[in-house]
Amino acid sequence: MTDFQISPELLNIYLEDARAHLEALDHALLALEREGFDSQVVAGILGPLHTLKGNSGMMGFTGIKDYVHRLEDVFVRIGHGSVAFSRPIFDRLFAGASALRDAVEQACRQRAEVRNLENDKRILDGILKESPQSTQGVVTTTGQQSPQSVTAQSPQSVTKKGSQSAQSGQKLLSAVSAGESSAISAPSASQSPAVSATSAEYVSARSSMVRVDFSQLDHLLNLVGELIIHRTKLHELGRELAEKMEGHEAVELLSAVQQVASVSSQLQETVMDIRMLPIRHVFERFPRLVRDLARQQGKDIELILEGEGTRIDKAIIDEIGEPLVHMIRNSVDHGIEAPEVRVARGKTPTGTILLSAMQESNHVLITIMDDGSGIDAAAVRRKAVDRGLVKPDEAIADRELVQLIFSQGFSTAETVSELSGRGVGLEVVLKSIERLNGLVEVETVPGVGTKFIIQLPLTLAIISALLVEVSDRTYAVPLGSIVESLKFRPTDVHTINGRDTLRVRDRIVPLVRLESFFGLPPVPESAAHYAVILGRGDKRVGLVVNRLRGQQEVVIKALDPAVSGPAFALAGATIMGDGRVVLILDVAAFFEGRRQTLAHSRPRPALAGGS
């Protein structure tokens, strides 16, 4: 129990640092289990553990501090080669890491220690008793290492990890010194040498990092968005005034306007860059997950990560974790076969899952690919027929059939397990990706493997959009969902099963007339007709509009939930340079079959008029 009041700010700093140190612990254990003993890996994890121990002590989390101290002892023994690696040893260490993570999370939620780690600490004691203590680098009862143990460690790895840990610890100490230090009780005499030495190391370290609450970045981005709006207006006014003025004054005015535009563009790029984080913040969670799931199912699986440095908006980073978990679990459970099955099929006993990311234009492509059994299109068809999703005699290509696995409650699993079988996971994936204005599709070859491809925008705050006009109203269509746009004649439209369709090369594309969809005044027959072709996987839908006004970057403003979302086909709004409000269309809504049947009879929504 802590003897001083913990501020929420201090608690958040501790929790973020602890999570980073626990991720490092997971990675170290995975590396040792996969590659065997590596002195640099062992030396590299001692720094984060030491920092976590010190931070926990300063927070008053004594039980966590003592457990981490004992974990340090185990890694020191590992570094001396005293611990014989085995599957039971790693199982105990991974279980201990999970227990430590749970204890930290609960302590931060409750602002006091909740989970008792004594039983878990006794498991570590058992490992220490099983391993003979080396004569070099003996760990003393105060946690100090003898000079021999310090010199035995890799200087390079200790310096690298130690500086990172020192920076992390300094952040916490800085927060404490700002208002908490007077409330911390003085350390005991037995702890004083260690604490003072550690504190001196932390205080002398320098950090180039500043912690900023993400809501402040959101507010800053909103201000930049307002600046962009007024920049456009200023540019138009400046051009009009310059035409009425003559000589030097007109040149100076245009120059000042251009300078403001340039600086505001740089400011926008800088703010957007600050919001961008490497996708490794999501990817680094999965090696441990795959290891545990594979062990649970008796499978051998190697996870390969690529493109971890690809940067993406933090708002997307926060949302993409859950759908990726479902897809990784799906690959482990449905995709990768048991070792004996793989060998019988002529494969290696170890399955492979590739998780990669790459930037393509203004999108990020995330690929989850496995070399497992693939998806049986015939089994998907049987399940789809049983559920009434397709007719028994309906001709559907295998590629389109496979997309049905994203339907609500759809699963080809014969039995329900802890991992799958309820038909919930991939439905969650689809909804989550669509909520992020993204797309997901699947490619599979039976017996060879399956590949899921997720396409996401780089950011949710500012998007590229195509401005379209219908019935004198302007709407914005997210450019990332547009396959192409084309002009057509009314005679090119054909009715199939009561739906207007347009033949675009070799495929029939259903059309949605926006004036009917939103209940707007009818468009004269003499008006021009354009089809904006939207894509979602293999599916296509054409939006019929009267004019294409061009591409533009727009700042997304949220609408009230009562008038936004799939029910209204509106994802948000934006403000143009002249002050007009333009509604942003929710592309996913146009692919919902039930929506199309109501399109011609629906009442006009309150905000459907656009601008």
pLDDT above 90: percentage of residues in the chain: 16
| 452 shares a domain with 378 | yes
Phi-psi region of 107 (alpha: psi -120 to 50; beta: other; left: phi over 0): alpha
Q: In this model, does residue 586 exceed pLDDT 90?
A: no
Place of tokens 């199939």: 496
Residue 290 and residue 272 in one domain = no
Q: What does the pLDDT read at residue 370? A: 93
Give the neighbor-by-neighbor strand order of the sheet with 547-555: 547-555, 462-470, 473-478, 581-585, 570-575
Residue 277 has pLDDT above 60, yes or no: yes
| Pair 424, 409: CB distance under 8 Å | yes
Say which CATH number the domain at 349 has: 3.30.565.10
The predicted pLDDT at position 533 comes to: 93
Q: Which of 35, 141, 145, 25 is nearest to 80 (CA)?
A: 145
The most confident of the ranges 55-59, 215-219, 363-367, 437-441 is 363-367
475 in the same domain as 398: no
Taking 90 as the threshold, does the pLDDT of residue 543 lie above it? yes
Instruction: Determine the Cα–Cα distance for residues 401 and 391; give it in Å rounded to an integer.
Output: 12
Q: Residue 331 is encoded by which pair of tokens?
A: 């690959």
Average pLDDT score over residue span 35-64: 87
Q: What is the pLDDT of residue 39?
A: 86
Which residue, of 436, 457, 478, is where some domain finishes?
A: 457
pTM of the model: 0.65
Q: Give phi and psi for 152, each to the nearest 5.
A: -75, -20
Q: Are residue 78 and residue 190 in the same domain, yes or no?
A: yes
- Provide the domain limits for residue 421: 279-457
Confidence band of 510 (pLDDT split at 50, 70, 90) = very high
d(Cα 260, Cα 283) in Å, to the nearest integer? 40
Can you give the three-state secondary structure of 124-166, one letter per residue?
Answer: HHHHHHHCCCCCCCCECCCCCECHHHHHHCCHHHHHHHHHHHH
Note whether residue 336 is domain-resident: yes
CA distances in angstroms from 567 to 319, 391, 440, 475, 559, listed in the order given: 22, 27, 21, 17, 13
pLDDT digits (tens, 9 = 90+) for 83-120: 888 888 888 899 988 999 999 999 888 888 888 999 98
More confident: 336 or 84? 336
| Chain segment 396-436, per-residue pLDDT in tens | 777 778 888 887 777 766 555 555 544 556 878 888 887 88
Q: For residues 122-151, give the mean pLDDT.
A: 56
Do residues 267 and 134 share a domain? no
Query: What is the pLDDT at residue 357?
Result: 94
Q: Report the candidate in 127, 258, 143 with the shortest Cα–Cα distance to residue 192.
A: 143
313 and 226, same domain (yes or no):
no
Q: Examine the pLDDT at 294 and tell me if it is beyond 60.
A: yes
pLDDT at 110: 87
For residue 594, pLDDT over 50 is answered with no
Long-range contacts of 387-394 (CB under 8 A, 24+ apart): none
Q: Residue 474: which CATH number?
A: 2.40.50.180
pLDDT score of 195: 39
Q: What is the pLDDT of residues 357-371, one digit of tens each?
A: 998 767 889 999 999
- pLDDT of res. 134: 53
pLDDT by residue (tens digit) across 462-472? Answer: 778 899 999 88
Question: Which residues 6+ apart lie within 8 Å of 399 measured at CB?
Answer: 443, 538
- Specify if 606 maps to a domain: no
User: 607 pLDDT exceeds 70?
Assistant: no
- Domains: count for the chain: 4
Assess whether 504 and 587 both reside in one domain: yes
Determine the average pLDDT of the residues in 123-143.
62
pLDDT value at residue 501:
92
Residue 238 within a domain: yes
Residue 185 covered by a domain: yes
Tell me: do 309 and 380 sit in the same domain. yes
Query: Looking at 314-370, which runs of residues are DSSP E strands?
Result: 350-360, 363-370
Q: Could you tell me if residue 45 is inside a domain? A: yes
pLDDT digits (tens, 9 = 90+) for 140-190: 333 334 333 333 333 333 333 444 444 544 555 455 444 443 333 333 433
Whether 484 and 452 share a structural domain: no
Mean pLDDT across the chain:
78
Of 11-15, 138-142, 237-241, 605-609, give the lowest mean pLDDT range: 138-142
> pLDDT tens digits for 227-241?
877 787 788 788 888
Of 147, 175, 204, the last residue of a domain is 204
Q: Summarize pLDDT for 494-507 with one digit per residue, the tens.
A: 888 888 999 988 88
Q: Which two tokens stand for residue 595?
A: 């929506």
Query: Both 164 and 286 in a single domain?
Result: no
Same domain, 199 and 159: yes
Euclidean distance between the first and the last CA atom of the chain, given in angstroms as a whole number: 60
Answer whether residue 490 shows pLDDT above 90: no
Q: Report the share of the chain in percent with pLDDT over 70.
A: 79
